[in-house]
Structure formats: structure tokens, C-alpha cells
Amino acid sequence: MNIKEFTPGIELHDQLNPLLWDGDHLKADVRLALQHIAHKFQLFLGIPVRVVDTVITGSQTAYTYTEESDLDLHLIVDYRSADCDQPVHELFDSKRQLWKQLHTIDIRGIPVECYVEDHMEPAEGHVYSLDQDRWIKQSRPVTPDEIPDQVVRDSAHWTRQIKTAVRSGNLAILHKTKQLLRDYRHRGLKDRGELSRENLVFKTLRNNGAISQLVTAIRRLEDRELSLA
């Protein structure tokens, strides 16, 4: 295995990314650009919704960002205000994925990922409000001794599990593995936040390419099932 596979998917910094931040305050031009993206994304949803707030979250709002870290842009929406004839979360997730396929947007070289979030189920971790131009939950610098030793062992375990699922060529197994990994990360974020063992393992798997292999295998098998020889 590559040594990168055993490296937690974070880097420790003593300041927030200076491309985006002046100290702990978001740069004005960055905030304006993100608000413009959020407005376009809201229009792209195609249905009227009540946006409660527009926020950014994830590693680019933390002292643990890396070169691979995206900038996560969330529309905080009242799901009950959405008038559509299908489950709201399914519609929004489909729109999110289509937006991602159609657009490649970055802020100073940092990719921007757009999401729709139910205001009744807020994102875990640190959050900065674009609309209010302030922290909802502020991040802090991290010391090396806060990184759990178990990250290395769990990363190796999940890497093996993903590779086994990919080799199986079984779509049900691949989907199950993806869901287990998603649930695993969510529990860690909910209980212990950005520095949870589970979230650090997820970031390591993203950096070492394991998650990309999993997603690619799922897409290829789904395409094969839809094809006629």
C-alpha cells in the first residue's frame, strides 16, 4: 500500500486558508462570489423554496484544509416550503448531482460543491453564514495529539473493504459498502465533529483514491445494466 493511504486526510495549519480568509473573517469578494453562485444554484433547482440561510462548511472553513479540500456551499432550505410531486430530498439530490455534472466552478482554484440542506437537519461541524457574514459555529486550530491513532488502522481496513467490493463486481455489495461508509462518517461527525476518527478516515479514503474507485465501479456497473449488447 502507498504511504499516502496511511496519512490522515488533513493538514494542520495555524491559520485559515489565506486565499479565502482575512484572519477568521471571510474576504468580501469571496463572500460576494459565493452568494452569486448560491443564487444561480437556487434558480437551477427549478422550484420556489424558502432559503433560510446560505452557509459554507467543511475543511475550507477549518484549520485542517488540504490541496484536495473543496469549498462546501449549502443552501439552508425549509423543505416544507418546497412544492413538488416527488420526495424533496430526492429532487434536491438529483439537482445537486446534475449541477455538478454541468458546472466546474472554483474560487481561487478551490472547487465549489453545492448542496441543499434541510434547516431541520443542520450540517455537523463548523459553519460560516454568508447571509449574516459571521460564524454560526467557529473552528479552531488543531494540535497533532488530537488526531486519533486508530485512523491509520481504520483507513487500512476500509481500503481493503472497498477494494474487495470493487473486485466483486456486485452492484448490491458496492451500494451497501458506500452506504456503510456514509453512515460511518455521519456518526463520527455527529458525535465528535471534524476531528472524529470516522471523518479523518473518510478524508484519507478520499485522498488515497479508494472512494473514487468505489463510485467509478458503481457507475460502470449501472451503465452496463442499462446497456444492450
Rounded CA gap, 140 and 15, in Å?
Answer: 9
Does 76 map to a domain? yes
Does 9 map to a domain? no
Q: What is the pLDDT of residue 102?
A: 93
In terms of residue numbers, what domain contains 219? 144-226
Q: What is the pLDDT of residue 207?
A: 79
Does 91 map to a domain? yes
Structural domain tally of the chain? 2
Q: Which residues contact 170 (CB under 8 A, 6 or more apart)?
A: none
Asked whether residue 3 carries a pLDDT value surpassing 70, the answer given is no
Query: How many other CB atoms are found less than 10 A from the CB of residue 4?
Result: 11
**pLDDT by residue (tens digit) across 114-129?**
999 888 877 667 899 9
**pLDDT by residue (tens digit) across 85-122?**
667 778 888 889 899 999 999 999 999 999 998 888 77
Do 128 and 150 belong to one domain?
no
Label residue 1 by pLDDT band (50, 70, 90). Answer: very low
Does 3 map to a domain? no
**Please, what is the angle between helix 210-226 and helix 150-168, to 10°?**
20
Type of residue numbered 199: N
CATH of the domain at 52: 3.30.460
For the chain, what's the residue count?
229
Do 190 and 174 belong to one domain?
yes
Do 39 and 102 belong to one domain?
yes
Do 114 and 59 belong to one domain?
yes
Asked whether residue 18 carries a pLDDT value surpassing 50, the answer given is yes
Q: What is the pLDDT of residue 78?
A: 83
The four Cα atoms 146, 26, 128, 141 give a dihedral, to 10 degrees, of 10
Type of residue numbered 205: L
Q: What is the pLDDT of residue 9?
A: 61
Helix spans in 103-168 (H): 150-168
**pLDDT by residue (tens digit) across 22-57?**
999 999 999 999 999 999 999 998 888 888 999 999
Question: Reading across the β-sheet that carries 110-118, which strands appear in turn?
Answer: 106-107, 110-118, 71-78, 50-57, 127-129, 134-137
